[in-house]
Structure 1
């Protein structure tokens, strides 16, 4: 559903114009579309497997991956500050993993899935930045998300359509799918137009810092795994998220 909503939302970008490349170049949007589908699937698995307050800060590592990928693709030497950022990020993840010891396997799996999702999205952002200039944002992005939507339709036989009768499910699914689509449009079009994935991802990655507090507050109000954790556990996770945020800031300054 979220992929179909994204395909509809990105269709509006066709008005921005661009240059439709020949069929021999259509492997580019196919690769980008696959990375998006893979990243979203891993994101849902990470959130479904563990706590949001664990997964959300780790998604912020995406900006470190973006900086490294852009540096490697450009053939430049990694600044020392990027390695400092990687060390801080590792420490932050360690603090987040150190909590929630009642289900250590789930915590580790959540971290692995969240890191994998972050890398998939980082590769997605880098390729959008590298390939969008030739196509134009108004051509590459709609085609990418039409492919995403078409691929998602292949999953229709496995959808439990009967559950749509549940009013509670509909009340959460439709707004959630809309928000996924809107955030995808916002960050992707910014990267395609301004061609600066590293800096754009800094702002995006800051969600991890306040995501811990929001997850805790939401769990207290509506219920959730975070509600079962004590104050010390959540403060430790917040500290870990803060280290990840510092790592993100270091990466962006290394590219100025």
Structure 2
């Protein structure tokens, strides 16, 4: 059974963190985020004044996308996380970062998940990509640690730290970028490498979870996102298991 927790009551300090983060990220992301993100923030009614009520938001996300939000109280390993994705459920961390981690949270928190990830679930290409990743992971054997690690790398350098070309310019869509001012400034720095996306390269690139990334991969088009997961699954998952899935 997948573990989940109730969303806690948030203190005035928590609400202040949400408000200031919301204002700053909204300003930083102007003309930097993919249009699908800004449109979904408005469509979901996310606002600066208060942390959203998770059950209410989950119902709206389900109505618009068929996905459900699941509150969790701790970080999840890739195996459990992918189980959620395979069922079109997205785990949302209930803890919000303290002020000391304002610029960069070393692990996912409420703002990262609700502001960074949830709006992108309304985009059909992105949502199908996540579901394909989850299904591919479920088709792996328990001893396929290398394959699962490569699927995680694909998730990490897309859903967490991905960019995509839009109108000829790289735009942000990864939640680790959308939710972190420090990561945005590092990413857009001219000295930071932003190579073209390649499944073969990404699957073998080490994941850096506690500091800024060494590089960020740029997809050539939004439509190719779902194809990336299917391509890697075709390499990693044996044919009989793919057919069964």
Shorter-chain TM-score range: under 0.3
Q: TM-score, normalised by structure 1?
A: 0.25
Give the number of the structure whose alpha-carbon radius of gyration is greater: 1
Q: TM (normalized to structure 2)?
A: 0.26
Q: Which has the higher strand share?
A: 2
